[in-house]
Amino acid sequence: MSGTLYGLGVGPGDPELLTLKAARLLAAVPVVAYPAPLQGDSLARTIAAPHLAPGVEEIALRMAFDPERRADEVYDAGAEAIAAHLAAGRDVAVLCEGDPFFFGSFAYLFARLGQRFPVQVVPGIASPMACAAVAGHPLTARDDALVVIPAPRPEAEIEQLLRAAEAAVIMKLGRHLPKVLRVLERLELTGCARYVERAGQPGQALLPLDEAARRGAPYFALILVHKRGKAWI
Amino acid sequence: MSGTLYGLGVGPGDPELLTLKAARLLAAVPVVAYPAPLQGDSLARTIAAPHLAPGVEEIALRMAFDPERRADEVYDAGAEAIAAHLAAGRDVAVLCEGDPFFFGSFAYLFARLGQRFPVQVVPGIASPMACAAVAGHPLTARDDALVVIPAPRPEAEIEQLLRAAEAAVIMKLGRHLPKVLRVLERLELTGCARYVERAGQPGQALLPLDEAARRGAPYFALILVHKRGKAWI
């Protein structure tokens, strides 16, 4: 009988924003896998570390950090290493920052293994909710529509998506921040936009847009927009 | 010195989908408040119950379940009861199904108390992520845009929002399900839509759209759409 592949959300970074279910499974599985930089620590592993069983086997999927380039070979090799454990009957938990099915790198492993093995996904706290808590402002209320927009999208598409709903989350800012700020200015939305970087991680910050523009945004930075501004309810 | 108002996400229903932070705070606060039906148990309190300190003071905000009617008087009275504890220096945790700032009823208390007292929000697992885990399909990958659409919105607006992005979550279905199904058929999206009700709660179900249409949807039901269907990555 084959093992189960767990897609385990570990939340945005704060080690307390892990679920009880994730903590229980982390202590129980014989094998964990996680994305990691070419050198140094994996954020997902760091969050999970206090809960791992002694002697757990670890598979680090090491890849250069380049969100705009796919790391197919790394996922191919990682999927095969994971498949070997599953085929031998050992459960494997893949650790995922945030939620596994919300822009998670788990999707790449799920695409390779989801048809071959039983899969269970344990949802995690996603970055929009973590950032709204830091910003101290609701994402949505009543019957608001919300759009989630990856900042690498073309400028015209970001504008069109922002026009479509009362509330928006613009993710993965990085080098795309100036483009996003141009759109917000054009739509006169800068007054109801909030910038948060590294929510729940060391270096967490809620910054004025102009200060973020001066300093530049990391990849793990979001802008939250609510068009009703202060009169949001 | 006044107490802190905690907006405490308790997740979608599964008692294990509570965060470690929520569990710690539940055991520490002297007062909890929660929405509840006019008679019977509060779902949020049921999720939190195993963690509550003995002798904790409880404030039930009892209201008729009618998502389309505001319960201003209940929130006014609840806010004053909570304010009295905060003013006396006692921390109060408001228990919220899902995430407090994502369509959470906490917003109504935050609007009344957020300027008067220190507030901390503890994010929780939100229903789209819980439902995606049940459906066994990613919400988003790569640079997908996602729209979150409350089903009470007018039919033409739902159609326009669905057209705007690759992925969608249509929430709060209830009696609006037939309208939503009409839009999905018109846009030829029924083949890439998944229906989930009561994720993480007793009675959780992943149903074919036509079966859901026959049985009728509860309020806590969602449809997840990904336009790339099975070729989602």
Q: Which residues of A touch B111 (CB under 8 A)?
A: 232-233
The residue of chain B nearest to residue A8, with distances taken between CA atoms, is: B133
Q: Which residues of B touch A132 (CB under 8 A)?
A: 99, 101-102, 121, 123
B31: tokens are: 């007062």
Give tens-digit pLDDT for A170-194.
999 999 999 999 999 999 999 999 9
The alpha-carbon gap from B65 to the nearest alpha carbon of chain A, in Å, equals 14
Ordered by start, the domain boundaries in chain A are 5-122, 127-226
CB contact under 8 A, A104 and B160: no
CB contact under 8 A, A123 and B153: no
Give tens-digit pLDDT for B90-136.
999 999 999 999 999 899 999 999 999 999 999 999 999 999 999 99
The answer to whether the CB of A124 falls within 8 A of the CB of A19 is yes
Q: Give the whole-angstrom CA distance, residue B115 versus residue A3.
A: 51
Closest CA to B173 of B102, B221, B207: B221
Q: What integer pLDDT is reported at residue B71 of this predicted model? A: 85
Q: Looking at per-residue confidence, does A228 or B36 come out higher?
A: B36
CB contact under 8 A, B233 and A107: yes
Question: What integer best gives the mean pLDDT of chain A?
Answer: 95
CATH of domain B5-122: 3.40.1010.10
Q: What is the mean pLDDT of residues A147-166?
A: 98
Q: What integer pLDDT is reported at residue A66 of this predicted model? A: 74
The alpha-carbon gap from A71 to the nearest alpha carbon of chain B, in Å, equals 12
Q: What integer pLDDT is reported at residue B172 of this predicted model? A: 96
Q: What integer pLDDT is reported at residue B65 of this predicted model? A: 77
Q: Which residues of B touch A133 (CB under 8 A)?
A: 7, 100-101, 120-123
Answer whether residue A23 shows pLDDT above 80. Answer: yes
Q: What integer pLDDT is reported at residue A6 of this predicted model? A: 98
Per-residue burial over A49-75, b if 16 or more Cβ lie within 10 Å, else e, is eebbeeebeebbbbbeeeeeeebeebb
Answer whether residue A145 shows pLDDT above 90. Answer: yes
Best to test chain B binding among A120, A148, A162, A163 (most B CBs inside 10 Å): A148
DSSP string computed for chain B = -PPPEEEEE-BSS-TTSSBHHHHHHHHH-SEEEEEE-SSS--HHHHHHGGGPPTT-EEEEEE----TTS--HHHHHHHHHHHHHHHHTT--EEEEESB-TTBS-THHHHHHHHTTTS-EEEE----HHHHHHHHHTS-SB-TT--EEEEETTS-HHHHHHHHHH-SEEEEE--GGGHHHHHHHHHHTT-GGGEEEEESTTSTT-EEE-HHHHHHH---SSEEEEEETTTT---
% of chain A beyond a pLDDT of 70: 97
What is Dmax (Cα atoms) for chain A?
58
Three-class DSSP labels, chain A: CCCCEEEEECECCCHHHCEHHHHHHHHHCCEEEEEECCCCCCHHHHHHHHHCCCCCEEEEEECCCCCCCCCHHHHHHHHHHHHHHHHCCCCEEEEECECCCECCCHHHHHHHHCCCCCEEEECCCCHHHHHHHHHCCCCECCCCCEEEEECCCCHHHHHHHHHHCCEEEEECCHHHHHHHHHHHHHCCCHHHEEEEECCCCCCCEEECHHHHHHHCCCCCEEEEEECCCCCCC
CB contact under 8 A, A20 and B19: yes
pLDDT tens, per residue, chain B with 233 residues: 999 999 999 999 999 999 999 999 999 999 999 999 999 999 999 999 999 999 999 999 999 877 667 789 999 999 999 999 999 999 999 999 999 999 998 999 999 999 999 999 999 999 999 999 999 999 999 999 999 999 999 999 999 999 999 999 999 999 999 999 999 999 999 999 999 999 999 999 999 999 999 999 999 999 999 998 665 56
Q: What is the mean pLDDT of residues A95-116?
A: 96
B156: tokens are: 């033409």
Answer whether residue A71 shows pLDDT above 90. Answer: no
CB contact under 8 A, A103 and B140: yes
The alpha-carbon gap from A93 to the nearest alpha carbon of chain B, in Å, equals 15
CA A8, distance to chain mean position in Å, is: 12
Q: What integer pLDDT is reported at residue A70 of this predicted model? A: 74
Angle between helices B106-113 and B72-87 (to 10 degrees): 60
Best to test chain B binding among A76, A94, A143 (most B CBs inside 10 Å): A143
Q: Which CATH architecture has domain B127-226?
A: 2-Layer Sandwich (3.30)
